[in-house]
């Protein structure tokens, strides 16, 4: 009798355990809260010495499968980047809802709105900036904070948008610099953002100085920024692998923080990172360093952690660019210029991520070895190369 009771209880415990396991598996497979806010379309509708009016049209998209997500709160914050003092410069921000089935309120109050599955809603963010002289303003870093509400409760999210406010004139460009086989011209641009397109940047800033046979190079970090491949650490949730392995990297490595390493995990997966780490550690003991980066993929070398680039991107983790070969091919197709995406530093290390088929790697390395674009805040992400001798 007691034995049968024990067996019965055991079966019940087993069934409860299996049920809990099924619930947990189902929970982990649920889509979660995938309400996204686009970076939007931004225009400087007023661009005067004492007044700017920056207006953005953004869209909330519910990509969550089978779940409606509510948006009860939306707000915005602004950080201005300037080459001078911000004293006596003020700003005001308005957020106006443009829901498809509800008119905006005259007091700009954002009432709670339900974004149904696969549906969208829009908003307008208007920022008015005033001061005695706004000519030193370089960029506006806008943070749109929106609260999402659904089965997982209240989840705050932030969309970061950087909008350039100053655009260099031709006379601000640096002079040509000689190298053994080419002259190089670092070209200043506005602060590049994810609102920019690399082909359009070349057309705007490079073509006025280019001639047949010239080569244009773009830094890998500026290209990644234009592609929107940057994330704020607050949006990253480090997992088991990132939290434990980050301590084994040199302090100067972009993978030496949990968020930096998690950025790599999110790209290539935890299994690949763990396998690369274990095999790389064994190889290092045997006197062969660098195996981790070979096995973990190109992104492992290209990720820039916080402080790795110029403001305001020094607050973000910037990944390596995507599809660089496609980008250089498109530049050549549209502009006629040979092109390359490069990673160059002050230690005379030059890495060519992609180049058009008519270019020599050794020639590019020699032309860029002095790092004409610089690694500080020169804001010269594009370099024009003019060959002077046959390579």
Read off the CATH number of the domain in which 158 is found.
2.60.40
- List the single range of 16-30, 220-234, 287-301, 331-345 with lowest mean pLDDT: 16-30
Q: What is the pLDDT of residues 343-358, one digit of tens each?
A: 988 777 889 999 999 9
For residues 146 and 186, state if they share a domain.
no
Please check whether residue 29 lies inside any domain of the structure. Answer: no
For residues 338 and 284, state if they share a domain.
no
For residues 148 and 177, state if they share a domain.
no
Helix, strand and coil content of the chain, in percent to the nearest 5, comes to 30, 30, 40
Pairing status of strand 338-344 against strand 215-219: parallel
pLDDT score at 188: 92
Q: Which residue has the tokens 């949006």?
A: 235
**Residues 303 and 260: beta-carbon distance below 8 Å:** yes
For residues 98 and 138, state if they share a domain.
yes
For residues 263 and 306, state if they share a domain.
yes
- Mean confidence (pLDDT) of the chain: 89
Asked if the model's pLDDT at residue 165 lies above 60, the reply is yes
Determine if the pTM surpasses 0.75. Answer: yes
For residues 158 and 197, state if they share a domain.
no
For residues 211 and 84, state if they share a domain.
no
pLDDT score at 248: 94
Domain that holds residue 135: 35-164
State which of 109, 131, 164 marks the end of a domain: 164
Q: What phi-psi label fits residue 150: left (phi over 0), alpha (psi between -120 and 50 degrees) or beta?
A: beta
Residue 66 pLDDT level (bands cut at 50, 70, 90): confident
Q: What phi-psi label fits residue 251: left (phi over 0), alpha (psi between -120 and 50 degrees) or beta?
A: alpha
pLDDT > 70 in the chain, percent: 91
For residues 54 and 192, state if they share a domain.
no
Q: How many domains does the chain have?
A: 3
Q: 115, 137, 123: which is closest to 50 by C-alpha?
A: 137
- Residue of 378 and 150 predicted with greater confidence: 150
- List the single range of 114-118, 148-152, 239-243 with lowest mean pLDDT: 148-152
Instruction: Check the CA dihedral 353-358-363-368 and report its sign.
Output: negative
Please check whether residue 57 lies inside any domain of the structure. Answer: yes
pLDDT score at 124: 95
Peptide bond into 312 cis (omega under 30): yes
State which of 295, 318, 341 marks the end of a domain: 318
Asked if the model's pLDDT at residue 391 lies above 50, the reply is no
* Neighbour tally for 108: CB within 10 Å: 13
**Residues 185 and 177: beta-carbon distance below 8 Å:** yes
């Amino acid at each position: 009798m007691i034995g049968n009771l024990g067996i019965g209880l055991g079966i019940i415990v087993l069934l409860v355990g299996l049920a809990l396991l099924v619930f947990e598996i189902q929970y982990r497979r649920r889509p979660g809260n995938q309400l996204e806010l686009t970076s939007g379309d931004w225009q400087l509708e007023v661009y005067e010495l004492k007044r700017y009016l920056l207006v953005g049209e953004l869209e909330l998209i519910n990509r969550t499968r089978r779940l409606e997500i509510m948006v009860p709160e939306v707000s915005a914050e602004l950080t201005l980047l300037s080459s001078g003092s911000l004293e006596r410069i003020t700003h005001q921000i308005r957020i106006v809802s443009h829901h498809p089935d509800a008119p905006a309120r005259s007091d700009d109050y954002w009432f709670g709105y339900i974004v149904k599955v696969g549906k969208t809603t829009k908003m307008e963010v208007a920022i008015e900036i005033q001061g005695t002289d706004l000519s030193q303003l370089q960029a506006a870093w806008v943070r749109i904070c929106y609260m999402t509400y659904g089965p997982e409760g209240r989840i705050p999210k932030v969309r970061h948008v950087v909008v350039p406010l100053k655009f260099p004139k031709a006379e601000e460009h640096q002079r040509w610099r000689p190298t053994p086989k080419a002259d190089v011209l670092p070209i200043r641009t506005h602060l590049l953002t994810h609102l920019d397109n690399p082909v359009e940047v070349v057309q705007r800033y490079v073509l006025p100085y280019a001639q047949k046979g010239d080569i244009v190079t773009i830094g890998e970090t500026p290209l990644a920024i234009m592609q929107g491949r940057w994330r704020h650490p607050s949006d990253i949730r480090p997992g088991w692998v990132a939290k434990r392995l980050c301590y084994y990297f040199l302090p100067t490595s972009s993978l030496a923080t949990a968020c930096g390493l998690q950025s790599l995990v999110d790209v290539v997966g935890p299994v690949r990172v763990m396998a690369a780490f274990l095999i790389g550690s064994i190889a290092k003991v045997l006197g062969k360093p660098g195996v981790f980066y070979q096995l973990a993929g190109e992104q492992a070398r290209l990720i820039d952690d916080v402080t790795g680039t110029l403001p305001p991107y020094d607050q973000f983790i910037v990944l390596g660019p995507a599809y660089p070969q496609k980008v250089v091919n498109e530049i050549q197709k549209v502009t006629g210029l040979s092109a390359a995406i490069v990673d160059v530093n002050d230690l005379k290390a030059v890495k060519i991520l992609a180049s058009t088929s008519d270019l020599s790697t050794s020639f590019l390395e020699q032309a860029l070895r002095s790092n004409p674009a610089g690694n500080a805040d020169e804001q010269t992400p594009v370099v024009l190369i003019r060959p002077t001798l046959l390579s």
